[in-house]
């Protein structure tokens, strides 16, 4: 569980439409960010990033983080490595926010 969340801003960007999990109207950034943070309970998926367009009052929820790591198991091996993967961003009238979950646990 997250003790608190932080948002990393990508100005004027969004993920490709194939990654969209929800499209809602939102009056302001706070309503959009809350929709993302409550997505697991309300929509059944974990929101990892979202795009908010203030002028259009549009909020797009994604279950993808545009910058993340994935575990890859080497062929013929029991060892796995973490590999960086990046989702291409496109120009947007809004801003993309990556959601970081911070816990109180140390280490």
Q: What distances in angstroms separate CA 11 from CA 27, 52, 66, 69, 106, one per listed residue?
A: 19, 10, 13, 22, 31
Return the DSSP state at 76.
Answer: T
Domain map of the chain by residue range? 4-102
105 has a pLDDT exceeding 70: no
Q: Is the pLDDT of residue 85 over 70?
A: no
What pLDDT shows up at residue 74?
59
**How is residue 22 written in tokens?**
């929800």
Closest CA to 47 of 30, 68, 33, 26: 33
Beta bridge partners of 36: none
pLDDT, tens digit, for every residue of 18-76? Answer: 889 999 999 999 999 999 999 999 989 999 999 999 999 999 999 988 775 555 565 66
State the residue for tokens 């490595």: 81
CATH match of 4-102 with 2.60.130.10: no
Helices (H), 49-103: none
Query: Which residue(s) pair with 25 in the sheet?
Result: 58
């Amino acid at each position: 569980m997250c003790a608190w969340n932080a948002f990393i801003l990508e100005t004027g960007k969004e993920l490709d439409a194939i990654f969209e999990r929800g499209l809602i109207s939102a009056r302001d950034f706070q309503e959009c960010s809350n929709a993302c943070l409550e997505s697991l309970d309300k929509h059944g998926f974990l929101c990892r990033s979202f795009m908010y367009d203030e002028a259009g009052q549009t909020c797009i929820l994604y279950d993808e983080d545009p910058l993340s790591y994935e575990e890859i198991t080497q062929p013929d091996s029991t060892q796995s490595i973490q590999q960086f993967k990046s989702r291409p961003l496109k120009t947007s009238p809004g801003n993309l926010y990556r959601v970081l979950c911070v816990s109180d646990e140390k280490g």
